[in-house]
Amino acid sequence: MTRSPAFSTASPPQTEKRPVFDTHHGFTRTDDYAWLRADNWQAMFRDPSLLDGRIRAHLEAENAYQAELMADTAALRKQLFAEMKGRIKEDDSTVPMKDGPYAYGSSYRLGGEQPRYFRTQREGGEEKILLDGDVEAGGKPYFRLGGVDHSADHGKLLWAFDDKGSEFFTLRVRDLGNGQELADQIPDTGGGGVWNAGDDGFFYTRLDDNHRPSKVLFHALGDNAENDRLIYEETDPGFFMDVGGTRSKEWIMIGINDHETSEYRLLRADDPRAEPKLVAARETGLQYDLEEGGDIFFILTNADGAKDFKVMTAPANAPARANWRELVPHEPGRLILSVLGFNNYMVRLE
* Amino acid identity at 11: S
Burial zone of 265 (CB within 10 Å; 0-12 exposed, 13-18 middle, 19+ buried): buried
| pLDDT computed for residue 8 by the predictor | 67
Kindly tell me the number of DSSP H helices and DSSP E strands found in the chain.
4, 23
| pLDDT computed for residue 48 by the predictor | 83
- List 215's β-bridge partners, or say none: 206, 233
| pLDDT computed for residue 1 by the predictor | 46
* Amino acid identity at 342: F
Task: Enumerate residues 6+ apart whose C-beta is below 8 A from 75.
Answer: none
| pLDDT computed for residue 28 by the predictor | 94
| Residues of the chain with confidence (pLDDT) below 70 | 1-8
Strand order in the sheet with 240-245: 240-245, 251-257, 262-268, 277-278
Question: DSSP label at 36?
Answer: G
Query: Strands 229-233, 116-121: parallel, antiparallel or unpaired by DSSP?
Result: unpaired
CB 118 within 8 A of CB 100: no
Dist. CA 246–CA 297, nearest whole Å:
10
Q: Which domains does the chain have, with CATH numbers?
A: 12-67 (no CATH), 87-138 (no CATH), 140-286 (2.130.10.120), 289-350 (no CATH)
